[in-house]
Structure 1
Amino acid sequence: MEDGTILSWKSTSKTSFSEEATSLKGHKGSLLSLIVGAKKLFSGSIDHTIRVCDLESLDCKHVLNGHTGDVTSVMCWDQYLLCGSLDKMINVWGATKSGNIEEVYKHDVDDAVVAFCGMHDEEEKPILLCSYKDNGVCLYDLPSQVFF
């Protein structure tokens, strides 16, 4: 929502979804991106943060501060979280053995990131498609070009 609230409905045995939504609060501005992966909900916002919520408890476990612009895209890839922003950065986060999430790589790009899409090419190599504010699209080999 524009106020930074995420609404979540749990499925029940009687109906597809419960009638009452659970509100997840914490972002200080509009949500721009959401993704579910690794039993977590990742959300990016105009408040420049990524929040990481446990899917079972819906508790916020981490707030990631690595951008200076709106976080427009979040994507899970293997054990990594990729985040794109209007600050012209792609940040890559990884979980540590202690359960924390740390930034493992930053990649400068030529324009503000609008959206990500991950896929495999015809040779089954993983690639990242990244669209930019100038309407351009760039393809990156994963993990070689983005990770280290």
Structure 2
Amino acid sequence: MKNTTQKIINQFPQLKPLLDESNKEVLKTSSTLSELEKTFLQLARFFEKPNEEAFSLQLLYQHLEDEWLEFALQLIVEFFRNETYLIKNPNFSIIRDSQDYYTQSDFARYLEDKGIHFPQNKIAVYRKRGKFPKEDLLIAGTPYWSKYTVESFAKHLLGQQKQ
């Protein structure tokens, strides 16, 4: 299951059994799902099988607003940036929440909190050597990494420690 789909399931656990292709007709016949839930179900199906499932942005316009619309748009950006190869060198970012990005010291603290000793000076050396994830943003010479990049790198390091 893709990360973006999992985020939808975290918000709407009742949709998980409906992702199965054998339940495809449920979307058309179910009166128990709200338009909001149907929209996110269609979006999750698209994320899982983009070559087979279609998703219309019209659904977002018709059935979502405020935080649900923002959530859906954020998922779409995350899907195309992190779960496809369609955006090879992302250089566009909307900073909606400062908690979505980490400075070098924030990155080091996050790794330390996960039990990975990776101090800030080690990050600086590894960045220079090209052995550290490339920053997602560079603002006035200060590197920033997205929450997704930080979490992915931590998972990678934890996987190496278990070997």
- TM-score, length of structure 2 as denominator length: 0.20
Q: Which has the larger radius of gyration?
A: 2
- TM-score, length of structure 1 as denominator length: 0.22
User: Looking at both structures, which has the greater relative contact order when contacts are Cα pairs under 8 Å and sequence separation is at least 6?
Assistant: 2
